[in-house]
């Protein structure tokens, strides 16, 4: 994970917008200044988390409707609690919601339903911070028994939750690395985790058509004649042969006009490995008919 996927960046935008709205509206509550600063800060952070979750709904709605539904419920619950900070059971309800949200994310990650990414990790950091603020005992506000369980939560539950979050993310990322994140220096297109049958069929059709179209280029002389030129050192295991005419023309995933060919550099000469499609503009993903099987990737300042 080297960068923030543009399709997930909307979550960060949603969080920033929610922060502005929270700071502008919560202060209008008649009892806003009568509650401790820790409570106010926790309420603001909960609205920020709600903004992130709600902003991600459109990105998941088509492929993961259940996840979108959970985002909706979670966002609504965060907003509801954030504006109910004078409720007697506010701290307990907020702690329960925040803990269940973080644990739910860890379950998603552990079972491969969601890959750990920058937006998710940043949101969990916000939620854990809000949990700590919600648990902080305030002098003269709570009974001694309440203060005891809050300090216990801060001293035991909070560190445990932080360790669980970090350990789960690291273990999953090491034991089951996302195939869309293993290309060094690349930013991968966000897709659903498991391809549908329609996506599998589309990927197979694209593969078969592309394989047939580039078969003549098994003879690298034919590739040279078609306008492909190698880039990089021939001492590397493989080389990208680019066709600048096709790059400039802006063909989009055309099996008969791939912008690049990939050759293995062997002692017998270049051996064709496959084709490579490239969009004309920087920071632009192409169509993704095969979902996770045909996801695009970007290299900074290249493609």
Q: Are residues 158 and 230 both part of a single domain? A: no
Give the domain-ending residue among 187, 207, 233: 187
User: How far is C-alpha 101 from the geometric centre of its chain's CA atoms?
Assistant: 17
pLDDT for position 146: 57
pLDDT for position 92: 87
Residue (of 227, 303, 224, 302) closest to 270 by Cα position: 224
Query: CA–CA distance from 267 to each of 232, 235, 247, 283 (Å)?
Result: 17, 10, 29, 37
Q: Are residues 227 and 291 both part of a single domain? A: yes
Name 86's Cβ contacts closer than 8 Å, sequence gap at least 6: 31, 35
Q: Are residues 38 and 178 both part of a single domain? A: yes
pLDDT for position 121: 81
Domain assignment of residue 107, yes or no? yes
For each of the chain's 303 residues, which pLDDT tens digit applies?
Answer: 444 555 677 888 999 999 999 999 999 999 898 888 889 999 999 999 999 999 999 987 877 889 899 999 999 999 999 999 999 889 889 989 998 998 888 888 777 677 667 788 888 889 988 988 887 776 655 555 455 555 555 555 666 666 666 666 655 555 555 544 445 455 666 667 788 899 899 989 999 999 999 999 999 999 999 999 988 767 788 888 999 899 888 888 899 999 999 999 988 889 999 998 988 776 677 788 888 888 777 665 444
Number of structural domains found in the chain: 2
pTM comes to 0.57
Beta-strand ranges (E) seen in the chain are 186-188, 229-231, 238-242, 260-266, 269-276, 297-299
Domain assignment of residue 118, yes or no? yes
pLDDT for position 157: 63
- 264 bridge partner residues: 238, 271
pLDDT for position 179: 45
Q: Are residues 204 and 182 both part of a single domain? A: no
H or E element: which one contains 80?
Answer: helix 65-82
Q: Which domain holds residue 12?
A: 6-187
Domain assignment of residue 1, yes or no? no
Give the domain-ending residue among 187, 221, 247: 187
Q: Is 188 helix (H, G, I), strand (E, B) or coil?
A: strand
Q: Are residues 160 and 215 both part of a single domain? A: no
pLDDT for position 301: 46
Residue (of 47, 36, 8, 228) closest to 135 by Cα position: 36
């Amino acid at each position: 994970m080297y960068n923030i996927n543009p399709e997930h960046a909307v979550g960060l935008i949603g969080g920033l917008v929610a922060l502005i709205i929270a700071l502008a509206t919560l202060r209008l509550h008649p009892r806003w200044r009568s509650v401790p600063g820790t409570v106010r800060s926790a309420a603001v952070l909960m609205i920020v988390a709600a903004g992130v979750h709600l902003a991600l709904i459109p990105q998941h709605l088509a492929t993961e409707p259940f996840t979108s539904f959970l985002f909706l419920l979670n966002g609504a619950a965060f907003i509801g609690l954030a504006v109910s900070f004078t409720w007697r059971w506010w701290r307990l309800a907020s702690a329960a919601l925040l803990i269940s949200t973080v644990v739910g994310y860890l379950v998603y990650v552990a079972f491969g339903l969601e890959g750990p990414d920058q937006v998710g990790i940043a949101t969990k950091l916000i939620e854990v911070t809000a949990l700590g603020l919600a648990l902080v005992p305030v002098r003269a506000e709570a009974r001694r028994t309440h203060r005891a369980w809050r300090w216990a939560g801060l001293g035991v539950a909070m560190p445990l939750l932080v360790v669980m979050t970090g350990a789960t993310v690291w273990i999953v990322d090491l034991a089951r690395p996302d195939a869309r994140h293993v290309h060094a220096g690349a930013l991968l297109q966000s897709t659903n985790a498991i391809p549908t049958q329609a996506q599998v069929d589309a990927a197979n059709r694209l593969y078969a058509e592309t394989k047939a179209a580039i078969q003549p280029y098994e003879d690298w002389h034919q590739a040279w004649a078609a306008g492909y030129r190698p880039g990089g050192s021939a001492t590397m295991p493989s080389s990208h042969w680019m066709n600048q005419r096709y790059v400039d023309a802006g063909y989009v995933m055309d099996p008969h006009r791939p912008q690049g060919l990939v050759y293995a550099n062997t002692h017998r000469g270049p051996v064709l490995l496959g084709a490579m499609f490239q969009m004309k503009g920087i920071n632009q993903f192409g169509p993704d008919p095969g979902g996770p099987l045909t996801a695009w990737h970007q290299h900074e300042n290249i493609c």
